[in-house]
Structure 1
Amino acid sequence: MSEANPELQSEVARLIVDALNLDIKPEAIQPEARLYGEGMGLDSIDILEVALAVSKRFGFQLRTDNADNVRIFNSLRSLTEHIAAARTK
């Protein structure tokens, strides 16, 4: 697996914090910490909000029926790597 771009990872962390109005600093999100459930404690509605924000910011659709969503939204690092590979802007 490729190493995530540190600048993009920081941007994605800020996007998550802003989209969900979290009361934490973006740099407090650990790259390998689970986003869903245990870890950051995000629920399915939170993940949908993040997916919408990612779609708007990076110009590609994250579909709810994608079988890879569990992997994509596993951690900040996995989400960043997916964005780096799929983004159009």
Structure 2
Amino acid sequence: MTTHSPAELKMATLLVEALNLEDMEPNEIDPNEDLFGDGLGLDSIDALEISLAISQEYGVQMKAEDEATREAFKNLASLTAFVESNK
């Protein structure tokens, strides 16, 4: 099992709740696993849901056209780092 930082565990919890991932626990999301494609298997609708949840929870706005946002959605670790550096 991968160790999560407190911020990563909080972000993983937000993902599980925002996406209604009923069969997954936050600590089961590997911080370095891709969120999209062959990783966790998320899609663009999931990205919108995550962005909305992040905006509500952290007050951080994520713009789809921003390259930094696309990089942030690579994995849980990068998403957490992006939010932590922008809140």
Unaligned runs of 5+ residues in structure 1 are none
Structure 1 runs, 4 residues or longer, greater than 3 Å off: none
Q: What is the TM-score when the length of structure 1 is the normalising length?
A: 0.88
For the Cα contact (< 8 Å) 1:35–1:75, is it kept in 2? Answer: yes
More contact order relative to length (CA 8 Å, sep ≥ 6): 1
* CA RMSD, 1 decimal: 1.2
Kindly report which structure 2 residues correspond to 1:36-75, keeping only aligned pairs within 5 A, or say none. Answer: 36-75=36-75
Listed as ranges, the gaps of 5+ residues in structure 2 are none
Alignment of 1:1-89 (within 5 A): 6-22=5-21, 23-87=23-87
Percent of matched pairs sharing the same residue: 39
Superposed CA deviations along residues 5-45 of structure 1, whole A, max 9, x for unmatched, are 81111000000000000020000000100001110000000
Give TM-score, length-normalised by structure 2. 0.90
